[in-house]
């Protein structure tokens, strides 16, 4: 499988793809600090800076899956929630690239607030856009707690599969550590496939590469088991987002600030990894 990421940040999707043994073909990220991290950890992937000038046709037929956490600020409860009028609303650019590159799979991520924005119209638009290009779409709400991270961090994951290539999208119910099924958004065209367990065989979550290409387990000794008791915000630089610990050790003041910001914007790669395994 060949993978390309948009709005790549410090490479949460790219890291999950690497765990799967996939090839990271390209990443698109405008932040200079994040590009330094991406270039260091994924040197073989092509680096692009501007989503608005990125040409997906160059990768048509050359990429199997495109991922992206398109900017959440327009819909986040922590922001002004300006929605589609916010100049950071960049789903149309992601959709343009999907149409140009025609991957078999698409995985998009955003904050849970996307569901309720304008009575769900924006999420419906995202799903309808993908369906108009022949994709079967399966949106699901899945928190970081589903892989035993000690914080809830609800996110909407929009998984799509190209219908013209046969089969179903392959993602059904996603279960948490106690077998509780996460909430699936009730879209008009739900996925009809099987189930994906968001834990490993031992019921534990996982964290960054252990040196043999497999994710390490998250330390869950003090994590509560009831999802309702999880904090909504992750501890800062505590390793609880499942991202490489090297970012914790940055001591230069500017880079330290940038690393904290990057953590806040990052996906939890263990969640993406479970979705990838279900495809």
| CA quadruple 160, 162, 168, 173: dihedral, nearest 10 | 0
CA dist 276 → 133, 229, 266 (Å) = 21, 27, 17
pLDDT at position 252: 55
Burial-class residue 20 by CB neighbours within 10 Å (0-12, 13-18, 19+).
middle
Neighbours of 192 (CB within 10 A): 10
pTM for the whole structure:
0.74
Mind listing the pLDDT tens digit for each residue in 205-252?
A: 333 444 445 554 444 443 445 545 545 555 544 555 556 555 545 555
pLDDT of 14 strictly over 60: yes
CA distance 72 to 120: 15
Q: Which of 84-88, 106-110, 179-183, 215-219 has the highest mean pLDDT?
A: 106-110
Active site residue 72: yes
Exactly one of 72, 127, 138, 191 is catalytic; name it. 72
pLDDT of 176 strictly over 50: no
Average pLDDT, the chain: 74
Q: Which helix (H) or strand (E) holds 118?
A: none
Q: How confident is the model at residue 71 (pLDDT cuts 50, 70, 90)?
A: confident
Q: How confident is the model at residue 148 (pLDDT cuts 50, 70, 90)?
A: confident
pLDDT at position 266: 81
- Rounded to a whole number of angstroms, the CA Rg of the chain reads 17
Check residues 275 and 231 and name the one with the higher pLDDT. 275
Q: What CATH number should be reported for the domain holding residue 142? A: 3.40.50.150
Could you tell me what percentage of the chain is helix, strand and coil, using 3-state DSSP and rounding each to the nearest 5? 35, 20, 45
pLDDT of 61 strictly over 50: yes
For residue 166, the enclosing domain spans 2-278
User: Total domain count for the chain?
Assistant: 1
């Amino acid at each position: 499988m060949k993978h390309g990421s948009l709005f790549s940040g410090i490479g949460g999707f790219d890291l999950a793809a690497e765990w799967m043994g996939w090839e990271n073909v390209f990443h698109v990220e405008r932040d200079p600090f994040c590009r330094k991290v991406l270039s260091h950890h994924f040197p073989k992937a092509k680096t692009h800076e501007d989503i608005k000038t990125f040409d997906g046709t160059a990768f048509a037929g050359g990429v199997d899956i495109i991922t992206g956490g398109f900017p959440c600020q327009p819909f986040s409860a922590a922001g002004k929630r300006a929605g589609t009028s916010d100049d950071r609303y960049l789903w149309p650019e992601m959709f343009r690239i999907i149409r140009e590159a025609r991957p078999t799979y698409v995985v998009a991520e955003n904050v849970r607030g996307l569901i309720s924005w304008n009575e769900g119209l924006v999420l419906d638009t995202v799903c309808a856009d993908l369906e108009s290009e022949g994709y079967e779409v399966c949106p699901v709400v899945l928190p970081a707690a589903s892989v035993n991270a000690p914080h809830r961090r609800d996110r909407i994951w929009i998984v799509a599969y190209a219908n013209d290539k046969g089969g179903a999208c392959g993602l059904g119910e996603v279960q948490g550590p106690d077998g509780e099924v996460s909430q699936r958004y009730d879209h008009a065209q739900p996925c009809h496939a099987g189930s994906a367990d968001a834990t490993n065989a031992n019921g534990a979550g996982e964290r960054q590469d252990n040196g043999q290409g497999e994710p390490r387990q998250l330390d869950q000794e003090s994590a509560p088991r009831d999802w309702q008791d999880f904090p909504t915000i992750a501890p800062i630089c505590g390793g609880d987002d499942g991202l490489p610990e090297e970012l914790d050790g940055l001591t230069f003041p500017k880079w330290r600030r940038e690393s904290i910001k990057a953590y806040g914007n990052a996906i939890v790669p263990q969640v993406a990894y479970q979705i990838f395994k279900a495809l």
